[in-house]
Chains A and B, each alone.
Chain A
Amino acid sequence: DTEVTQTPKHLVMGMTNKKSLKCEQHMGHRAMYWYKQKAKKPPELMFVYSYEKLSINESVPSRFSPECPNSSLLNLHLHALQPEDSALYLCASSQYNSYEQYFGPGTRLTVT
């Protein structure tokens, strides 16, 4: 299984809602990543988890809260988002840090 899955594919939420994005891989990878991509822009790194511990937080606002409950699963909890947070959220994993990354298909988030 060489796949990274993300759910949901699409999400529309209001600014007062709380929602979560989910990312899963069963390749035994020990590093997982969250990226944000705005239209016609390259992805931007948000968080890196290494061995289930947060190793990089790229100064992301606290309304985005990552969680890595086990080595296969990565969540991104969303609360009180702004319309400018609307974007494609991509998850990726790699065997270890600095190895080749495998990307999921993304969750397209719209904040109304």
Chain B
Amino acid sequence: GNSVTQMEGPVTLSEEAFLTINCTYTATGYPSLFWYVQYPGEGLQLLLKATKADDKGSNKGFEATYRKETTSFHLEKGSVQVSDSAVYFCALRAWGKAGGTSYGKLTFGQGTILTVHP
């Protein structure tokens, strides 16, 4: 079946440090890949996505590149801020079809808690 593995957290960084959160996946076919972020007290928000190999998703200074050869989608940011403190989830959406209908359910990793100190 489909699965997503994220690096174990929590991750604690100082402001302006470089961030990498590793994510690898197992899926049949060609999934779409996502990073979601959950800020304290809020729901999950889509941070970025990539739908095919070698695509780079980017948003708010975060980037991730869809690497089919290594089945990875690592999240990076060159200089983190205190406001980036949150839980980050890597996810994939693989298409299963039955009767011609695609379901689009997301498969998530276990989440990585990021804390950024001033």
A binds B: no
